[in-house]
Amino acid sequence: MGISKDIINRIRKSNCTTDETFFQAVEEVLDSIQPVLESDSKYSKNSIVDRLTNPDREFKFKVVWLDDNQNIQVNTGYRVQFNNALGPYKGGLRFHPSVNSGILKFLGFEQILKNSLTGLPIGGGKGGSDFDPKGKSDFEIMKFCSAFMTELHKYIGPRIDVPAGDIGVGAREIGYLFGEYKKITSSYDGILTGKPFMFGGSLMRPEATGYGCVYFTDEMLKYGGKNDFKGRICTVSGAGNVAIHTIEKLYDLGAIPVTCTDSRGTIYDSRGIDLKLLKELKLKKRVSLEEYCKDHNDAIYTKVEDYSDGGHEVWNIPCDCAFPCATQNELTQIDAKNLIENGCISVTEGANMPSTPEATKLFLENDILFAPAKAANAGGVVVSEFEMSQNASMTKWSYEKVDNMLDQNMRAICKRVHLTAEEYGVAGNYVDGANIVGFKKVADAMIAEGI
Ligand code: NDP
């Protein structure tokens, strides 16, 4: 299905960004929703595509903070409030040197459709900074978070915009950000999700994205006639929040996750990843995965510079199910080819848009069960919305309640996507299914709300 060049050129012109990831995300969605646009003229009459691909507003601000050597440091902070047709802007904050307004627009745009897909009352946004948390002391992280919130607090609110974590932003950073917001405003508002449990966080929020990916895949395997996870070899990339909890839930459901990666290299442990050690290295000590081999000298560590055929080491390891859970465009055409040749049956995107368009195309052409990010990794935002509900009603839900509701929500999203793909004549194509479900709900709300 080809999309009109005119539409994409118009969107390129009206968006002041050079970041190709944003256009990549938009093109994929436009391709999927073409039959919807063609079947009902209300979307073009209401200029929905142009309105949906331009954020409501974007903030860019200076973040000045003092490092441990008393040097003044300057970073850039951003918040993109993309669309609030369905509820308050909602989406994570990313702290990583690669952050710029284009990357945040890609993430914010994806977030609109993801949040719509959940069926919950949340809009789409994203934010962050080019600040690099690596190698910073705890005190420096706190100083930076305080300085960041000094500006961000002007734009957020429990009914306006509720950020959460993403790459480089976990419970520690959310805690410091929340503390600063409270100091500035004297208000105990649920303006962030992913808070530690002791001050308003939801149980299961840290686990939610990874667990949700596995629940979604379990359901997708059943639809695809592949039974369940028992005994299946799984490869996982990443070694952060999403990857760790994906590995944890895979073990719970009887699978054998054998890999993890970080920005410096890949660990392959054929007997199954030692989860306790992985948590120790990445969540407590925050060190390189190379350290893993000190405890397991039969595991294989491959440095990024030693990856062999132009692909990523982790996707060259034979597996039944693959879970890219690190970052965007980490799984390329050559990686997809390696996975397919090695007999992989499913690929689940834990990270946001980890597969390149060429890789996605290969998966779909080869009937691989492919779960796109906006459906598969929605578990994080689902439990974030549960956190907002708990904060609003001043209640705390049990672990079992949140886990059951997450499980049910992920399986319901999978069903919705599966049935929609069938309805539009693309059975098994979860990319089109997810884009169509997400688009229709938000587009119909925009039309109903007028201009
Ligand atoms: P973390 O910061 O906890 O972990 C990120 C992991 O990916 C780390 O292991 C990091 O390596 C690695 N990584 C980051 N950037 C790169 C890169 N450029 N190349 C190679 N490896 C890289 O982040 P999360 O686990 O929270 O997020 C991972 C992905 O999941 C992101 O795409 C995020 O947008 C998405 N996501 C996260 C959600 C959440 O709830 N946290 C919700 C939905 C989506 P190193 O340790 O060396 O830094």
Residue 400 resides in a domain: no
127 lines ligand 1 (CB under 6 A): no
Ligand 1: which atom is nearest the Cα of residue 328? 32
Q: pLDDT tens digits, the chain, 451 residues: what are they?
A: 456 677 778 888 777 666 789 999 999 999 999 999 999 999 999 999 999 999 999 999 999 999 999 999 999 999 999 999 999 999 999 999 999 999 999 999 999 999 999 999 999 999 999 999 999 999 999 999 999 999 999 999 999 999 999 999 999 999 999 999 999 999 999 999 999 999 999 999 999 999 999 999 999 999 999 988 999 999 999 999 999 999 999 999 999 999 999 999 999 999 999 999 999 999 999 999 999 999 999 999 999 999 877 899 999 999 999 999 999 999 999 999 999 999 999 999 999 999 999 999 999 999 999 999 999 999 999 999 999 999 999 999 999 999 999 999 999 999 999 999 999 999 999 999 999 999 999 999 999 999 9
What is the model's pLDDT at position 160? 98
94 and 47 housed in the same domain: no
235 and 96 housed in the same domain: no
Confirm if 323 and 235 have CB atoms less than 8 A apart.
yes
- Residue finishing a domain among 342, 371, 400: 371
Residue 391 resides in a domain: no
Residue 218 resides in a domain: yes
Residue 416 resides in a domain: no
Q: What total number of domains does the chain contain?
A: 3
118 lines ligand 1 (CB under 6 A): no
Distance 113 CA to ligand 1 centre (A): 20
272 and 311 housed in the same domain: yes
253 and 355 housed in the same domain: yes
Residue 428 resides in a domain: no
CA 413 – CA 410 distance, rounded (Å):
5
> Which token pair is 127?
């934010």
Beta bridge partners of 369: 346
Placement of tokens 């306006």 in the chain: 160
> Which token pair is 107?
């993430």
Distance 86 CA to ligand 1 centre (A): 27
360 lines ligand 1 (CB under 6 A): no
Residue 107, domain CATH: 3.40.50.10860
324 lines ligand 1 (CB under 6 A): no
Q: Which residues contact 181 (CB under 8 A, 6 or more apart)?
A: 149, 153, 156, 187, 189, 191, 192
172 and 266 housed in the same domain: no
> Residues with catalytic annotation?
126
Substitution candidate for ligand 1 out of 262, 283, 313, 386 with most atoms within 8 A of CB: 262
Substitution candidate for ligand 1 out of 162, 263, 382, 384 with most atoms within 8 A of CB: 263
- Residue finishing a domain among 344, 371, 398: 371
Substitution candidate for ligand 1 out of 132, 214, 241, 266 with most atoms within 8 A of CB: 241
Residue 140 resides in a domain: yes
What is the model's pLDDT at position 187? 94
Residue 396 resides in a domain: no
137 and 266 housed in the same domain: no
Residue 385 resides in a domain: no
Q: Which residues contact 31 (CB under 8 A, 6 or more apart)?
A: 1, 2, 3
215 and 352 housed in the same domain: yes
Distance 325 CA to ligand 1 centre (A): 7
166 and 76 housed in the same domain: yes
> Which token pair is 140?
């420096």
- Residue finishing a domain among 137, 154, 188: 188
CA 83 – CA 112 distance, rounded (Å):
7
> Which token pair is 382?
């689902």
238 lines ligand 1 (CB under 6 A): yes
What is the Cβ-side half-sphere exposure of residue 274, based on CA atoms within 13 angstroms? 17
240 and 216 housed in the same domain: yes
128 and 98 housed in the same domain: yes
239 lines ligand 1 (CB under 6 A): yes
Which residues span the domain enclosing 28? 5-52
70 and 110 housed in the same domain: yes
48 and 121 housed in the same domain: no
